[in-house]
Structure 1
C-alpha cells in the first residue's frame, strides 16, 4: 500500500488516493531441460483507477551456475509477452548474467490512445538486480553460500 495517510498534493491540496499493488509470479522449470516458464501477474488500484497485467516469459539457460563452488554464475535469455487489460500488448526480451539482468520491451498500444499517438507505442529499458536465494542450496549439497 502506498500513500497510506492520503497526503494532500498540489496547490488545491487535493488528497492523493491510496495505491494498492499485488503481484505474483512463478518459476516453473522443466526437469532435465534448460527451459523454464515464468508466468506473472500484476494488479494496481489507486482510487477509481485500476490496472491488470498478465503474461509470462520463457527462460533459456545458456550457462549453468557451478554446482559446488558457486563461483561461475548462471547466464540466461528470456523472451515473452504481457497483456495490460484494455491497453497494451508488451513483447519483452531480457538477458541475465550473474545477479544482473538487462531487458527491453515495447508497449504496443491497443487502446483508443493509439489514434492520438498514430499507433506508436513506447520502448522501455529495464535493469534488475537479482538477490541471491539463500534457500537454493539445501542440506547435503557440497556448496555452502559465503553470504
Structure 2
C-alpha cells in the first residue's frame, strides 16, 4: 500500500510538472473557446446576444491519480452606448482549481469591462479594448503534506513538524489583465465572422509563493487568439479557433475546427450539432462535440495524451464538460434589433 501510494504521488508530481511547464504557468482548458475572458478580456461581449453565461469543468488524470479538477464560470452583459453603434460589456470571471494530494487550491474572482468601438457605419466592424482585474487566493492542506523531517528510522511520524518555514497555508493577491481585439463580418451579406486579438495577463506581476518571496513573482503571459466562422451554406458552417500563449519559458499552442449543421429552419434551427477536434501541440489530441438547443449549449471533449507522458498517463488526459447560455433581453435597445453589433 505504501509503495502504491508513493507511486501515485510520484506520477502526480511528474504529470503536474509537465502540465504546468513552469512553476508559474496558468491553468488551461481544452474548450478554451468556452472561457473567452481567460483568453482575453476584450473578447467579452463578442457574441450574438445581450447576455452570456458559460461554465467549463475539467477533470484531468483523476482516473488513476488525484491530479487536477478545474472549473471556470464567466458571465457577460452587453449594451449599446448612446445613439451610435458603440457597445460596452461588463463581465465577471470566476475560476476554481484543485490539484494534487495536498489539495493546492486556486480561487479567482475577476470583474471585467470591455469597450467596443465601431469602425464602420455599413457593417459590423469593431475594435475592442478590455480590462480584467480582481482577487486571487491560493491555499494548501498542510495536513496532507509529508516531508523528510517526519520520517525517523524509515518510519513516518505525523506528530513531527514538517520543517517548512511558511507561516500560513493560504495567501491572496490582486491580479490584472488587459487586451485588445478586432471583430468583423465579411463575405456575402457579411454572414462570415472573424476575430483576432492579443492580451497581456498578470500585468502587475503578483507574488506567487507561500513563502511570499519577491523572487517568485508570477510571470506575465501573452495570449494571441483568433477565430473565424465560415458559412458552407445556409444549413452548415465551420468554426475555427486557435490560441498561442507564452508565459516565462513556457509556450502553448492549441487550435482546431468544428463543423456545425443546423437541423430545421436555418434562421431558427431546432438545434445545431457541432463535431470536430483540436490539437494542443506536443501534448494532446482533443475530439469535441457540442449541441446548441437555444438558448443553451452543451459541449464535451476529451484529451488523448500524445506527449512523452503517454506511458505514465496511459494515454488518458482530461475530460471537459461545458454548459453555456446566450440570450436576448426584452428591452428596446437589445442587440437583437441591431444590424451592426459585436458578434461571433
Shorter-normalised TM range? 0.7 to 0.9
**Which protein has the bigger helix share?**
2
Secondary structure of 2:310's counterpart equals helix
Is contact 2:236-2:260 (8 Å) kept? yes
| Deviation per residue, 1:42-97 (Å, 9 max, x gap) | 111111111101110000111336x6xxxx67521100001111111100000112
The normalised TM-score by structure 2 is 0.36
Q: Distance in 1 between matches of 2:337 and 2:283?
A: 37
Question: Is 1:109 aligned with 2:305?
Answer: yes
Choose which of 210, 218, 221 in structure 2 pairs with 1:16.
Answer: 218
Moved more, 78-87 or 122-131: 122-131
CA contact (8 A) 1:43 1:50 kept: yes
Q: Give the unaligned 5+ runs of structure 1.
A: 140-147
- The answer as to whether partners of 1:38 and 1:57 remain within 8 angstroms in 2 is yes
**CA distance in 2: counterparts of 1:94 and 1:75, whole angstroms:** 10
**Distance in 1 (alpha carbons) for counterparts of 2:223 and 2:314:** 31
Distance in 2 between the 1:131 and 1:92 partners? 23
- For normalisation by structure 1, the TM-score amounts to 0.79
Find out whether 1:123 has 2:281 as its counterpart.
Answer: no
Q: How many Å apart are 1:3 and its aligned residue? A: 0.8
Q: Which has the larger radius of gyration?
A: 2
What's 2:251 paired with? 50
Q: What is the total number of aligned residue pairs between the two structures?
A: 133
Alpha-carbon offset, residue 103 of structure 1: 0.4
Instruction: Provide the rounded CA distance (Å) in 1 between the counterparts of 2:278 and 2:337.
Output: 28
Kept after mapping to 1: 8 A contact 2:263/2:269: no
The corresponding residue for 2:287 is: 91
What secondary structure sits across from 2:287 in the alignment?
strand
